[in-house]
Structure 1
């Protein structure tokens, strides 16, 4: 019988990773309960000015929730190694969710978003492009059996997916709300919600790469 290596089982890095995932899940859970799920009650007061675009918004939110929920399972190494067939199925569902979310986001950007201001529409379009691009690169990489590249693009994809959570958190901060009207702070905030986390991610991945 193989002896259990306690040093390997309880590595400090594993604890840090676990704590980070718990924080992200709780952080995202608050966003889901407070900001996303209320839309599924189809209450006109919840949708506000977006009521006329409710189906695009529901598609966008649904796609985001699917990707947000599946992501942790795709990065769970033990789960992935033990249930590879499920990992592949979840990966396809993840891509479909992002595709639906992206198409819906583009429609929202150039309809309701453009009604607010072209800078807001452009910011939404930029996020939608980053969302579908990173997911597509992850898919192309795995099709070409470039597994390491696939993992790196999946990390980027999930960072962009998480931008919806980050944006909601940032836009509600008192210091951000003091920056001006929504037209003045909204577009900048949505760019910040994914570009800065993505740059930090690139730095971390670069530092962790083996020679």
Structure 2
């Protein structure tokens, strides 16, 4: 029951985030929507740099797919009933992360908050690529157990899209120094996700396998 509740919450948050991103950057004027961020010093959201704009939209669109697809890849009943569907969803998951992370690496160099922010986003995208690559290589070697563990790590990084917004709201807007809070939120989001999933893998997932 707890797994179903967790799955439902993650899936709901993912859909809400994707829909809100579509509304924010496609339906509404992104310059007006991001007015607060622009006032805080994020000049790139004035959308005057066309190459940055293209990279941003590529990053947003391609990141939406693994965020929504990911939870379904962990449903064993779905995988066992339709292995081809599971494989095809997995291919979309890997391909979109490859594209989104490369765009994300480019965007990292324009991050607000100086070198710590740049490094935070760079490490995030490298971790996204690395964990996904490991999951892919292990399934190619037919090492199902290791593939599953690395897929959990990969999705933990994918879910940073949501936890970063949460930490930004909690830390970024609660400190007197917005930039310090924003940079802290970057590191707390993806590092925190990996720490949590690693603890879950070691003390819950592996224990269930032994049982």
Shift of 1:37: 4.0
- State the TM-score, normalized to the length of structure 1: 0.84
Change (3 A) 1:132 1:151: same
Structure 2: runs of 5 or more not aligned:
39-43
Count of residue correspondences: 194
Matched, 1:31 2:17: yes
Which residue is 1:166 aligned to?
163
1:40 paired with 2:26, answer: yes
Contact 1:120 1:183 in 2 (8 A): no
Q: Which has the larger radius of gyration?
A: 1
Cα deviation digits, residues 4-41 of structure 1 (max 9, x gap): xxxxxxxxxxx111111111122223322334542134
2:153 touches 2:194 (CA, 8 Å); kept in 1? yes
> Hey, what does 1:91 align to over in structure 2?
90
Show the 5 A alignment for 1:1-211: 15-41=1-27, 43-45=29-31, 46=33, 49-50=44-45, 51=47, 52=49, 53-110=52-109, 112-113=110-111, 116-173=113-170, 176-208=172-204, 209=206, 210=210
Alpha carbons 2:167, 2:188 under 8 Å: kept: no
How much has 1:71 moved relative to structure 2?
0.5
Alpha-carbon RMSD across the aligned residues, in angstroms, is 1.9
TM-score by length of 2: 0.84
SS in 1 for 2:176: coil
Deviation at 1:57, TM superposition (A): 0.7
The DSSP-based 3-state class of the residue aligned with 1:61 is helix
For structure 1, the residue ranges without an aligned partner over 5 or more in a row are 1-14
CA distance in 2, matches of 1:128, 1:54: 18
